[in-house]
Amino acid sequence: MEFIKLRLPPRFLLKHALFRVRKAFRGGDDYDWSNYPDHYRAEVRAGRKWYNEDLHSTDWKLQDGRIFIAADETPLHPTHRNVWEAVVNLTPSSVSEVGMGGGRFLAGLRELLGPGVELRGYDVEAKQLELFHELYPAAAATIPSSVLDITLSPLPKMTEVVFASTVLMHIRRPDAYRQALRNLMRSASRAVVLMDNYTTHDYLADLTSEAGPDALYVYDTGRAVSIVVSLGGALDLPYKPLTSASQLR
């Protein structure tokens, strides 16, 4: 099996080593978020060799809620495809992303949902928002983005759907993680979509206590699973009720 190798700059490695020593004593999230953008840039650079992250320059179509790309295109990352489809199938008129990083999901949603849907992005680190403008200038011109710490407050403007991909799994402070879950729920009128490594927290138990068991669904593409918390009543297929942690493999 081949692994994607990251070329991390020495300044990241040095600061991260010091951060890990401090974290061993004081605890904290997986990263010092002000240092993380160097890591994220390296991830994006490496990931783009293997996966297609930019739907604007891709031959794609949406059919029956599934994204299809031309056979000779570089494949989509399974989790990116899942998040995009999980959001698109909700047919929202407004969507926000929390922990947007360089904005690949929002830029893709602009392509998939068209110009009429309101999109917004938030991240705790301003350098990530700068990267969004650098990587996707056309999308960034139509998608407002601002600094926000989801562990401290809900979004300033509620949207129908709010999603976060690989954000909560890195928030390792138990109270901050629970507050982030709560703030996500308070920020959406219809649904919250989460994509994470589900071994990092007890998502099923925590979401059941925040939203109730009947609100929980999964969107499963066979290669990735997102959690969909419905705040506006029952969902039909392609969403399936989340009843067991084994569905979050």
When the beta carbons of 104 and 190 are compared against ligand SAM, the nearer one is 104
When the beta carbons of 106 and 229 are compared against ligand SAM, the nearer one is 106
Window contacting ligand SAM (CB under 6 A); options: 93-101, 110-118, 185-193, 233-241: 93-101
Quick one: CA dihedral 195, 155, 243, 92, positive or negative? negative
Residue 113 CB, nearest distance to ligand SAM (Å)?
A: 17
- Of these, 128, 159, 179, 230, which contacts ligand SAM (CB under 6 A)? 128
Rounded distance between C-alpha atoms, residue 125 and residue 148, angstroms: 8
Report the Cα 220 to chain-centroid distance in Å.
15
Measured CA angle at 182 (ends 180, 186), to 5 deg: 115
Residue 147 CB, nearest distance to ligand SAM (Å)?
A: 8
Strand partners, 123: 147
Window contacting ligand SAM (CB under 6 A); options: 12-20, 97-105, 154-162, 230-238: 97-105
When the beta carbons of 166 and 221 are compared against ligand SAM, the nearer one is 166
When the beta carbons of 90 and 168 are compared against ligand SAM, the nearer one is 168
- Of these, 12, 16, 19, 33, which contacts ligand SAM (CB under 6 A)? 33
124 in contact with ligand SAM (CB under 6 A): yes
When the beta carbons of 74 and 240 are compared against ligand SAM, the nearer one is 74
Report the Cα 56 to chain-centroid distance in Å.
19
35 in contact with ligand SAM (CB under 6 A): no
**Of residues 132-151, which lie at the interface with ligand SAM (CB under 6 A)?**
148-151
Contact positions toward ligand SAM, by CB under 6 A?
33, 36, 40, 98-102, 104, 123-125, 128, 148-151, 165-167, 170-171
